[in-house]
Structure 1
Amino acid sequence: HSAYIILLTAKERSQDIVAGLQAGADDYLTKPFDLEELRARMQAGLRISELQDSLAERVRELEDALSRVRILQGLLPICSYCKKIRDDSNYWQQIENYVTAHSGAQFSHSVCPQCYEEIVKPQLEELYPTGRKTRKDTRQENEDAR
């Protein structure tokens, strides 16, 4: 906990007050003092001290979170053809590996509708042309023949 220091003194000159505050006091009260005023200043000091402690804890939490955050920024040299990224060691690596290493993001692979139509579907049609029998068709014919 942080300490809240109230300087209680008989010195009441302006330069004494300034010297006391510069020495580390958070508040200054001169004698003779009013007990209610002292209590009020102590309660204010307690509130301030609790807020400072709370703020310090929040700063620690944010610094800890920030130390775990990794971000990508700046320009990434990427191959126009294979989409590999050149790292700081001049090594070309898959975009997924680079992004994962520099951000912690994970990838899940899929095929977008455009690539399915332009790439996957023609490959499937080449492997399984219309009218060509599949293993399933052949199996079914064999079972029917029995």
Structure 2
Amino acid sequence: MNIIAFLKKSRPRFDLLVTLFGVVIVFFLSQRYDCLEAMVHFTRQHENWELDEIIPVIMFLALAFSMYSVRRWLETVRAKKVADELNVSLKASLAEVKVLKEILPICANCKKIRDDQGYWQQVESYISKHTDTSFSHGICPDCMKTLYPEYYMPQETIA
């Protein structure tokens, strides 16, 4: 595997390599041009500008940005963990949902459904077999009036 493919797999590896490369360049430039000595000399010449206070400020900023980066990284890790847990939960929920996506031949008279093998089944047994649905039976007001007229009471009188 070549180095480019290796670095493309992981953004942190690439960032680390760029940072290391930058550190090496800054080191050699500082060594070649004596940057710190030049800065010390310049700040002594211009003491009234208070330039020497920039060094502690830069050190503080480096520390603050490091802390900021670590906190953002931890937030990202937590958010990824929550997203992964939610994804697992959604996959489990999706697995529980079964949808009938077909045209079902149904008898116009008795309402039985013909299955793939050509057998006729009650609607309840067919749906229970192909989904996680269970049924409880009741009687609608129209059927109650037809089948049991002596027990039928219109809806208005029930309440």
Task: Give the TM-score, by structure 1 length.
Answer: 0.60
Shift of 1:72: 2.2
Partner residue of 1:85 out of 104, 110, 113: 113
Helix, strand or coil at the partner of 2:74? helix
Match of 1:117 among 145, 154, 157: 145
Query: Equivalents in 2 of 1:19, 1:96: separation in Å?
Result: 57
The match for 1:28 is 15
Residue 59 (structure 1) aligned with residue 87 (structure 2): yes
Structure 1 unaligned segments of length 5 or more: list them. Answer: 1-17, 125-146
Q: Matched residues in 1 for 2:93 and 2:141: separation?
A: 38
1:69 correspondence with 2:97: yes
Instruction: State how 1:96-115 maps to structure 2 within 5 Å.
Output: 96-115=124-143
Per mean C-alpha deviation after superposition, the further-off stretch among 51-60 and 30-39 is 30-39
CA distance 1:58–1:72, shift in 2 (3 Å)? same
Question: 2:75 is aligned with what amino acid?
Answer: R
- How far the C-alpha of 1:52 sits from its partner, in A, is 0.7
List structure 1 runs of 4+ shifted beyond 4 angstroms.
Answer: 18-21
Amino acid at match of 1:28: D
* Whole-angstrom CA distance in 1 between matches of 2:68 and 2:7: 19
**Structure 2 unmatched ranges of 5 or more:** 27-58, 152-159
Q: Secondary structure at the match of 2:148?
A: helix
The CA distance in 2 between the partners of 1:75 and 1:58, in whole Å, is 34
Deviations 1:73-113 (A, max 9, x none): 33211011110011122221100101112222222222222
Q: Contact 1:77 / 1:85 at 8 angstroms: preserved in 2? A: yes
Distance 1:95 1:35, change over 3 A: same
Query: What is the root-mean-square deviation of aligned Cα atoms in Å?
Result: 2.9
The structural deviation recorded for 1:51 is 0.6
Q: Say which structure is richer in strand.
A: 1
- Cα displacement (A) at 1:20: 8.5
- How far is the alpha carbon of 1:55 from its aligned partner? 0.5
Structure 2 Cα separation of the partners of residues 41 and 117 of structure 1: 74
TM-score by length of 2: 0.55
**Cα distance in 1 between the residues matched to 2:9 and 2:143:** 72
Counterpart AA for 2:77: S
Secondary structure class of the residue paired with 2:15: strand
Alignment length (residue pairs): 106
For residues 19 and 121 of structure 1, the distance between their equivalents in structure 2, rounded to whole angstroms, comes to 81
